[in-house]
């Protein structure tokens, strides 16, 4: 029974967090200055039509009744119908989310592959010019607006140098030529054996994914440096140096090994942040992902789409966060005490 308690606590936390997310999205939909009835019937509809649609939508019921109905619909997978597209919101999200997932996944791979070594080297050379450069890069990742960096990237690497593809996910003449199996264009084009489509997809995704990776790199490098500095000040590191252990082994075998579990949480939060924070990048690059979908829905006062996208993003963030906590618990015996 004692061994089941952590799992039960995790399950209870997930349920309560998800209910909290549902409550937040529901009440956001009620307090924003957008009338869902007007979005359906238009601002020239008669009062009788307005009242009939309002009653059909259940907006005359008490809030607690509306919330209960909202929760039940969500549990059934019903996110409503998008006013903009005329399709179920769940169908739209299933179509656009893989694009965001693909770009964010490549971004986090770039962020981890570069951010972790940069953080380690910055800590190992504390106070040196290498440390200063890496810290400036990390600061730039916090200070530079995503939309500005995206626009500059397009001007330099697409318009001027022609090193990468432009806005969109693939060249227009190849759009629709790859059968959709996973929704991940790179994977689907590779499965289909369409080399031209694969190369086009790579050229289009590399710039926005690299920009996302830069923001992930800034956070991961900063946290890695902080964790490493704490470990390098420990007595066992001083003892290893006195014994003549090579610096490379001290860094990667002695100091880095204890911080790996902590980095899991950092990487998980960075990944979730890329999934939920890619709105600006997707808008700049006309990337057909959930961020672009959410922006369009906001401009069109499409509250079903807005709440559905917000709910999916929040759910993904919760899942990644709790998954990181679970990995932490599994890999670090001290967390089970």
Question: In the prediction, which pLDDT does 225 show?
Answer: 93
Are 62 and 107 found together in one domain? Answer: no
Distance between CA atoms of 179 and 186, rounded to whole angstroms? Answer: 11
Q: Is the pLDDT of residue 335 over 70?
A: no
Question: In the prediction, which pLDDT does 132 show?
Answer: 92
Question: In the prediction, which pLDDT does 332 show?
Answer: 63
Q: Is the pLDDT of residue 193 over 60?
A: yes
User: How do residues 10-33 score in pLDDT, each as one tens digit?
Assistant: 677 777 887 887 888 777 777 766
Are 66 and 109 found together in one domain? Answer: no
Among the listed residues 185, 154, 140, the one whose alpha carbon sits nearest the alpha carbon of residue 280: 154
Among the listed residues 311, 303, 314, the one whose alpha carbon sits nearest the alpha carbon of residue 36: 303
Q: Say how far residue 321 (Cα) sits from the centre of its chain.
A: 11
Q: Would you state the torsion angle of the CA atoms of residues 300, 305, 306, 312, taken in this order, to the nearest 10 degrees?
A: -160
Q: Could you list the residue range(s) of the whole structural domain that residue 246 is in?
A: 97-162+213-336
Are 15 and 117 found together in one domain? Answer: no
Helix (H, G, I), strand (E, B), or coil: what is residue 269? Answer: helix
Task: Quote the number of domains for the chain.
Answer: 2
Are 14 and 146 found together in one domain? Answer: no
Could you tell me the pLDDT band of residue 2, with boundaries at 50, 70 and 90? Answer: low
Question: In the prediction, which pLDDT does 203 show?
Answer: 94
Residue 168 covered by a domain: no
Model pTM? 0.84
As a whole number, mean pLDDT of residues 33-43 equals 70
User: How do residues 254-287 score in pLDDT, each as one tens digit?
Assistant: 888 888 888 988 998 899 888 876 788 998 998 9
The average confidence (pLDDT) of the chain is: 84
| Residues 286/264, Cβ–Cβ less than 8 Å | no
Counting residues of the chain whose pLDDT is more than 70, the rounded percentage is 91
Query: How many CB atoms neighbour CB 32 within 10 A?
Result: 14
CATH number of the domain enclosing 141: 1.10.3720.10
Residue whose structure tokens are 């075998």: 253
| Higher per-residue pLDDT: 156 or 242 | 156
Are 104 and 238 found together in one domain? Answer: yes
């Amino acid at each position: 029974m004692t061994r089941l308690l952590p799992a039960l606590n995790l399950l209870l936390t997930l349920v309560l967090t998800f209910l909290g997310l549902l409550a937040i999205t529901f009440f956001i939909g009620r307090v924003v200055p957008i009338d869902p009835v007007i979005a359906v019937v238009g601002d020239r509809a008669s009062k009788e039509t307005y009242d009939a649609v309002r009653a059909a939508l259940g907006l005359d019921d008490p809030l607690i009744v509306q919330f209960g109905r909202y929760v039940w619909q969500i549990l059934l997978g019903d996110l409503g119908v998008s006013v903009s597209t005329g399709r179920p919101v769940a169908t739209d999200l299933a179509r656009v989310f893989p694009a965001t997932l693909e770009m964010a996944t490549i971004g986090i791979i770039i962020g981890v592959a570069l951010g972790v070594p940069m953080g380690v080297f910055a800590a190992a050379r504390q106070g040196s010019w290498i440390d200063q450069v890496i810290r400036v890069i990390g600061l730039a990742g916090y200070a530079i607006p995503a939309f500005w960096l995206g626009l500059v990237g397009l001007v330099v690497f697409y318009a001027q140098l022609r090193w990468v593809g432009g806005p969109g996910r693939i060249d227009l003449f190849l759009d629709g030529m790859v059968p959709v199996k996973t929704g991940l264009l790179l994977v689907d084009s590779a499965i289909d054996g369409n080399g031209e489509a694969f190369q086009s997809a790579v050229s289009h995704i590399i710039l926005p994914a690299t920009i996302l990776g830069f923001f992930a790199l800034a956070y991961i490098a900063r946290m890695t440096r902080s964790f490493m500095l704490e470990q390098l000040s420990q007595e066992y590191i001083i003892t290893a140096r006195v014994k003549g252990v090579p610096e490379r082994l001290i860094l990667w075998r002695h100091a880095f090994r204890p911080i790996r579990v902590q980095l899991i949480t950092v990487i998980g939060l960075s990944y979730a942040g890329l999934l939920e924070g890619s709105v600006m990048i997707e808008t700049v690059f006309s990337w057909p992902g959930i961020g672009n979908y959410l922006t369009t829905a906001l401009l069109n006062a499409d509250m079903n789409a807005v709440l559905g996208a917000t709910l999916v993003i929040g759910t993904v963030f919760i899942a990644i966060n709790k998954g990181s906590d679970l990995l932490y618990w599994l890999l670090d015996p001290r967390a089970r005490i």
